[in-house]
Amino acid sequence: MRQVKRFLSFAFIMMFAMMALAACGKSKDAKSIDCKEFIDVAIKGFEGSGYASFDMNAKFAQDRDYMDKMFPDLIRAEAEAELTKIFKQLKIKAEPEKDLKNGDTVTITVDGSASTLLTQHGLALKNDSFTVKVEGLEEGQAFDPFEGFQLVFSGYNGSGSFTKDSSGVSELTNKYGSLEPDYDKAGKLSNGDTVVVKYVVTFESRLESDKVVPTTREKTFTVSGLDDIKSVDPFDYYNLVFKGYDGQGTARLESKKDVDMPSAFWLAFPEVSPNEDLKNGDKIKLTIPDKDLSYIGIKFSTTEKEVTVSGLDEVEAIDPFSDEIITFTGKAPMIQVEINKDKLPEGTKSYFTYYVNGENRYNKMTFDEDEEVTFTVEVSEYLQKKGYSVEETEKKIKAHGEGAFFTDPDDVAELVEDPTEKITPMVKALEGVYQGQWMGTMKEFEDLELVKVLFFTLKEDERTQLGNYNRPCFNKVMLVYEVKGTFDRNSDIDHYVGYTFSDFEINKEGEKTFKADEGIEVARDMNRLLSVYKMSESYYDSQELTGLQPTGKPDPTESETEEPSEEETDEETEEATEEVTEEETEEVTEEVTEEETEDIPQ
């Protein structure tokens, strides 16, 4: 009461005078409410920071005759409650609203257009605009306890709720009390509803002693921003995907990637029936449980949908022996076959197993030109489920290469050129070059004499070993020359050099080609020079080419070119094998160091 007396304004005095006149017998209009009598206007705060607050005049309802006329069908308690509701429906505004000082005039405006009870009871407002003069404000501090405070509304229209956001309120607000919303409406709010928040002062006496006053103790917040419950077609969030082939297709629903699906949909996932062994034109049904999803703001517009199956592919025939899949590479008689299963339709190569001439390990097989090769394929039964068929599982195909190696020694002999002019300067360059104990130093070079021409070729039954070598020697010619000259030691030992030609072949254009190896090999005797091939005689066939002499040399006589007998050849081979022992090979390796090898022209 002390606070009320301290901040009592001129408006209070005027209203009390009017009430006294009424008590003396002044009559009231039963169909109108005089706002100047009905509303208590209190100017609170301090000089320069005053504000107007409003409350219902508690004595207004004490005039029983007046109340009975206003609400003839209600008992006294009900009439007073109804009058209180009417007050709460009024929108009361002061202008200016705040920062008031003594001597200011405040216009009070009352708006009853939103009051349904006024209309219901046939009541009208009287004096809905009047003025009040500000007086009696003392020096002190006023603060707005709702400054920086918000109610945050969430949820859906009809079931909305709210939370307090007090992060921005002042220290004074927290010091003297707390902001308390009306929680009774939480969870039942709709857009346009109002929520009253009161500033509950805990320490009234401290406010007075500190000369601090809240500019208002109550604020109404209007609910907004709540989303309406939407009616949605649940099947709009999915793509119906048909896969497979006509008669054995499948159907399933996939979530659309570009659409945000409500999380609660996972509690009501649609079903597809039937979903397998489908053919184009079939009818299938989509169904989804009719769940109550109003708490997330949606409801289903439909829970069932019929769809026609379409887009299933026809079964496709595969030719497993097409030119894309089966190819031949290499040159005759060492043509190889390649089976490129990656050229089969995507996802099917694991369903095919190939055999070549009855064997599954065909990567080391070699064939001659036009040799007939039998291809067989085993096909998994699951291929049909992928929508493919195979009509032919065996086929004979002739091998065709990218040219051919020479196999006739006479053809090879025709192409070999006289390399004397090339190798003579190579050998002469060895003059004065130390070549190890077994050879010594060649003091002077005189001449070269061709003594043997050999043709090496891979044996017929060893051609399947092709996969074991990076580049096997199919055919190669070695010309063996005896070196004439003077040496500083071991002068009684014959010295030889070897020069090679390789890759005798016919290319795709039918041209005969070969390659000169542009280098010499040096040895103290012929067997040592030919040791590499002698030790590999199980892989290679070798024969001497006759009738091949360097330009300017006379043809050898028949006795000179006569090929050795089988017995002599065998003896010579055995002798070479015996002479080239492991010990001697190591000796040669040790003596011909890297430094010495670099001195030999290549």
Which pLDDT score, from 0 to 100, does residue 106 have?
Answer: 94
**How many domains does the structure of the chain reveal?**
5
Question: Do 374 and 467 sit in the same domain of this protein?
Answer: no
Cβ contacts of 43 within 8 Å, gap of 6 or more: 7, 9, 11, 50, 51, 52, 100, 106, 132, 134, 135, 136, 137
Amino acid (one-letter) located at 67: M
Question: Do 446 and 570 sit in the same domain of this protein?
Answer: yes
SS3 content of the chain, % helix, strand, coil (to 5): 25, 35, 40
d(CA 230, CA 301): 9
Which pLDDT score, from 0 to 100, does residue 569 have?
Answer: 41
Token code pair at residue 186: 């939480």
Which pLDDT score, from 0 to 100, does residue 9 have?
Answer: 41
- Chosen domain end from 169, 201, 222: 222
d(CA 326, CA 480): 44
Is the peptide bond prior to 234 cis by the omega test (within 30 degrees of 0)? no
Question: Do 457 and 584 sit in the same domain of this protein?
Answer: yes
d(CA 449, CA 554): 11
| Residues found in the chain | 602
With a cut of 70, which residues of the chain have pLDDT below it? 1-28, 263-267, 434-440, 460-474, 489-491, 535-536, 538-540, 547-602
Which pLDDT score, from 0 to 100, does residue 151 have?
Answer: 94
68 within domain boundaries: yes
313 within domain boundaries: no
Which pLDDT score, from 0 to 100, does residue 139 have?
Answer: 84
Amino acid (one-letter) located at 201: V
Token code pair at residue 590: 């040790």
266 within domain boundaries: yes
Question: Do 453 and 549 sit in the same domain of this protein?
Answer: yes
Question: Do 511 and 523 sit in the same domain of this protein?
Answer: yes
Cβ contacts of 232 within 8 Å, gap of 6 or more: 298, 299, 300, 301
DSSP code of 229? Answer: P
Q: How far apart are the first and last CA of the chain?
A: 123
Question: Do 455 and 528 sit in the same domain of this protein?
Answer: yes
- Chosen domain end from 201, 222, 243: 222
Q: Is 211 left (phi over 0), alpha (psi -120 to 50) or beta?
A: left
105 within domain boundaries: yes
Which pLDDT score, from 0 to 100, does residue 547 have?
Answer: 59
Question: Do 381 and 489 sit in the same domain of this protein?
Answer: no
Cβ contacts of 102 within 8 Å, gap of 6 or more: 47, 134, 135, 136, 137
Question: Do 574 and 492 sit in the same domain of this protein?
Answer: yes
Question: Do 439 and 552 sit in the same domain of this protein?
Answer: yes
511 within domain boundaries: yes
Which pLDDT score, from 0 to 100, does residue 26 have?
Answer: 44
- Chosen domain end from 114, 133, 152: 133
CA-closest candidate to residue 292, choices 458, 396, 156? 156
In order of 82, 319, 332, 350, 400, the CA distances from 392 in angstroms are 96, 7, 28, 18, 22
Which pLDDT score, from 0 to 100, does residue 285 have?
Answer: 95
Which pLDDT score, from 0 to 100, does residue 548 have?
Answer: 59
Which pLDDT score, from 0 to 100, does residue 580 have?
Answer: 36
In order of 68, 69, 401, the CA distances from 63 in angstroms are 9, 10, 123
282 within domain boundaries: yes
Question: Do 566 and 425 sit in the same domain of this protein?
Answer: yes
582 within domain boundaries: yes
| pLDDT tens for each residue of 81-103 | 999 999 999 999 999 988 888 99
Which pLDDT score, from 0 to 100, does residue 264 have?
Answer: 65
d(CA 45, CA 52): 9
- 359: helix, strand or coil: strand
Looking only at the bridges linking them, the beta strands covering 32-34 and 124-126 are parallel
Question: Do 420 and 373 sit in the same domain of this protein?
Answer: no
6 within domain boundaries: yes
- Per the structure, the complete domain to which residue 395 belongs is given by 318-402
In order of 30, 86, 88, the CA distances from 69 in angstroms are 6, 16, 21
**With contact defined as beta carbons under 8 Å apart, do 178 and 187 qualify?**
no
Question: Do 288 and 337 sit in the same domain of this protein?
Answer: no
